[in-house]
């Protein structure tokens, strides 16, 4: 991993912007720049913050609980423990480093923390600068090494899906299936699921973010499985839809419609097209068939160290896609009282089109 190159790019940015130091609190940004894997218990209980000065060496600031892990995972950085909390350490540390201003990630810093930090550092003559998406912007474009890691994550995810799909009849409930999937992920070496596995049967499929329930699955209704894992830090995300028993004609018709929309979306994705145009390519198919109101979310999202990241394939994203971005293409139709169908693949944006990272075709050719 080329952490030093990534740090150097951030430092060049800081110097251009006349920023003396930069606090990286967002967990995936921290990992992207350092390899530190410490897990946060939510934003209010961070496992550490990376301090990147415009010149010189990086410090990883953490608390006692993560000290050993930080030293093991980031041997090239100085690990500094804050016994009384980050705020108490920062003032002295930044003064020692002769920092006159420090940037922080406004989009991953609590309002209350920012206020306290600004007051505390202000007393030492240090100003705070809210910034947004410095590292996220770098992360959007993956290099080939990262794409290979994502490819492996997708492949492992498909292996897990096929293992469980091959023995669907063994499971009674949505929870049974979700548990089997998440256990298989970790047994096969994943760090874990990249999000809570969604298994939604029958009516439940009408909730795009359904929570698996312990009731028996509906054999003759739609079954949505939306799953992803984290492998070496990189996420995968895939949705398949099937009927464990006998599919109705309506199901088959809608499934083909969603698949057609997905293919139109994938055909539209290439460098230079806007996110909204890719969304429109798929949405038009569903709208023209009369189901526009049942496709209430956007077509896709970026995937990398985070399972949901920029860019979005949505009507609101007027920016052009660039080569090296990795996005999902996942149209869906959700009908309250009937169920839902969503199909999701991950693709790499290339100059002349897109590379489909998924090879599994379960139920895609019906």
Question: Phi then psi for 189, rounded to 5 degrees?
Answer: 105, 0
18 half-sphere exposure, CB direction, 13 A CA radius: 2
Under the criterion CB under 8 A, does residue 241 sit at the interface with a copy of itself? no
Under the criterion CB under 8 A, does residue 108 sit at the interface with a copy of itself? yes
CB closer to a copy of itself out of 45 and 96: 45
State the nearest-atom distance from the C-beta of 271 to a copy of itself, in Å.
26
CB closer to a copy of itself out of 122 and 336: 336
- Measured between alpha carbons, how far is 317 from 329 in angstroms, rounded to an integer? 15
Under the criterion CB under 8 A, does residue 119 sit at the interface with a copy of itself? no
State the nearest-atom distance from the C-beta of 249 to a copy of itself, in Å.
25
352 half-sphere exposure, CB direction, 13 A CA radius: 0
For the window 296-315, what string marks contact with a copy of itself as x by the rule CB under 8 A? Answer: xx---------xx-------
Under the criterion CB under 8 A, does residue 246 sit at the interface with a copy of itself? no
Under the criterion CB under 8 A, does residue 288 sit at the interface with a copy of itself? no
Strands 192-193 and 234-235: unpaired
Under the criterion CB under 8 A, does residue 186 sit at the interface with a copy of itself? yes
Under the criterion CB under 8 A, does residue 41 sit at the interface with a copy of itself? yes
Contact pick of 9, 93, 106, 289 for a copy of itself (by CB under 8 A) = 106
DSSP symbol at 311? E
For the window 123-142, what string marks contact with a copy of itself as x by the rule CB under 8 A? Answer: -------x-x----------
State the nearest-atom distance from the C-beta of 115 to a copy of itself, in Å.
7
Contact pick of 115, 148, 170, 288 for a copy of itself (by CB under 8 A) = 115
For the window 60-99, what string marks contact with a copy of itself as x by the rule CB under 8 A? Answer: ----xxx-xx--------------x---------------
Complete edge-to-edge strand list for the sheet that includes strand 78-81: 78-81, 59-62, 49-53, 21-24, 101-105, 127-131
Under the criterion CB under 8 A, does residue 100 sit at the interface with a copy of itself? no
Q: Report DSSP letters for 218-273, one per residue.
A: -TTS-EEEEE-EEETTEE--EEEEE-SSPPPHHHHHHHHHHHHHHHHHHHH-STTS
8 Å CB contact between 24 and 105: yes
How deeply is 305 buried, as exposed, middle or buried, from its count of CB atoms within 10 A (0-12, 13-18, 19+)? buried
Helices 249-268 and 275-288 meet at what angle, rounded to 10? 150
Piece of the chain touching a copy of itself by CB under 8 A; list 12-20, 44-52, 216-224, 240-248: 44-52
8 Å CB contact between 52 and 33: yes
Under the criterion CB under 8 A, does residue 153 sit at the interface with a copy of itself? no
Under the criterion CB under 8 A, does residue 316 sit at the interface with a copy of itself? yes
Paired residues of 102 in beta bridges: 21, 128
Q: How many residues does the chain have?
A: 366
Q: Which residue ranges make up the site for a copy of itself (CB under 8 A)?
A: 37-39, 41-45, 47, 64-66, 68-69, 84, 104, 106-115, 130, 132, 175, 178-179, 182-183, 186-187, 189, 192, 195-196, 206-211, 214, 296-297, 307-308, 316, 336
């Amino acid at each position: 991993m080329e952490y030093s190159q990534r740090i150097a790019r951030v430092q060049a940015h800081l110097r251009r912007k006349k920023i003396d130091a930069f606090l990286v609190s967002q967990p995936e940004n921290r990992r992207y720049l350092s390899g530190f894997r410490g897990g946060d218990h939510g934003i209010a209980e961070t496992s550490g913050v990376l301090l990147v000065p415009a010149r010189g060496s990086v410090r990883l600031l953490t608390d006692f609980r993560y000290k050993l892990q930080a030293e093991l995972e980031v041997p090239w950085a100085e690990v500094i423990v804050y016994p009384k909390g980050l705020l108490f350490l920062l003032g002295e540390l930044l003064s020692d480093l002769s920092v006159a201003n420090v940037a922080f990630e406004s989009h991953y810093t609590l309002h209350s923390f920012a206020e306290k930090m600004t007051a505390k550092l202000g007393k030492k003559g240090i100003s705070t600068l809210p910034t947004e998406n410095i590292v996220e912007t770098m992360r959007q474009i993956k290099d080939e090494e990262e794409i290979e890691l994502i490819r492996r994550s997708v492949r492992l995810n498909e292996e897990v899906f096929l293992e469980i799909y091959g023995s669907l009849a063994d499971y009674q409930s949505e929870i049974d299936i979700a548990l089997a999937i998440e256990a298989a992920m970790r047994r096969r070496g994943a760090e874990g699921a990249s999000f809570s596995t969604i298994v939604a049967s029958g009516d439940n499929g009408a909730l795009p973010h359904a929570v698996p329930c312990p009731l028996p699955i509906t054999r003759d209704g739609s079954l949505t499985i939306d799953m992803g894992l984290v492998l070496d830090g990189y996420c995968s995300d895939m949705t398949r839809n099937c009927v464990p028993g006998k599919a109705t004609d309506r199901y088959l018709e809608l499934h083909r419609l969603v698949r057609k929309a997905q293919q139109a979306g994938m055909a539209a994705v290439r460098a230079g097209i806007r996110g909204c145009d890719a969304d429109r390519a798929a949405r038009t198919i569903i709208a023209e068939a009369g189901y526009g109101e049942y496709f209430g979310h956007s077509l896709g999202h970026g995937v990398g160290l985070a399972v949901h990241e920029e860019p979005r394939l949505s009507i609101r994203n007027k920016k052009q896609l660039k080569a090296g971005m990795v996005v999902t293409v996942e149209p869906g139709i959700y009908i309250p009282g009937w169920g839902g169908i969503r199909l999701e693949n991950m693709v790499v944006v290339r100059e002349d089109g897109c590379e489909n990272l998924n090879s599994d075709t379960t139920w895609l050719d019906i």
